[in-house]
Amino acid sequence: MNTQFRFSPIKSREELFAAITHTHFACYELCIQYLGRPLPVASNIGIFCHFEDEYEYLTGIRKELTDETKSWNNKYYLLHNPIVIPSRNTIPETIYKYLYIRKPEEKQTHVGDVDFYLPPVEYQALKKKVEEGEFPKGVSLLQRPNLDLVRMEAEGNDTSAFVGSYDLTKIVGA
């Protein structure tokens, strides 16, 4: 077994849900660390695969757990039954309605990611602060032409958290 990754290769539903729970709390830690408070999620959580056979296995589980006809970008799929993670300390109860299983990428070692939501005006103010260098290392703009997000990462945290001005339930309509 490769010890480079905390959970991979994931070989059961229980391991998948352990990775989801870990990703949830680790991403909230990033949100609180950099923004000083927990934000609502954009309804989605992603788990990153590190091996091709793991991706095939988890895609099979995702197909069982989600509605293949309701997705965003053929990437985030609507769960038949949302994942509810109870509150813990300052982290509120959270409901994830969409699941993403990410293909393996050679240099990607993270367990997963969560997208947080800010209303557009607040998001633009956050983005401006990031552009002006008001945040420490670890907070940056995502450099992809089709996505407008702020990325949060930290040494010792094996997840990525993003902040945007969208909520998938409003985009997909479920």
Q: Is 90 exceeded by the pLDDT of residue 145?
A: no
Range with the poorest average pLDDT among 3-7, 11-15, 168-172: 168-172
Domains and CATH numbers, the chain: 13-169 (3.10.180.10)
Q: What is the rounded distance in angstroms from the CA atom of residue 8 to the CA atom of residue 29?
A: 21
Q: What are phi and psi of 7, to 5 degrees?
A: -115, -30
Proportion of the chain above pLDDT 70, given as a percent: 94
Sheet holding 112-117, edge to edge: 66-72, 76-85, 94-102, 41-48, 112-117, 159-164, 150-152, 139-141
Residue 60 has pLDDT above 80, yes or no: yes
N-terminal to C-terminal alpha carbon distance within the chain: 38
pLDDT tens per residue across span 71-121: 888 899 999 999 999 999 999 999 999 999 999 987 888 999 999 999 999
AA letter at 123: Y
Nearest residue to 33 via CA among 146, 160, 142, 144? 160
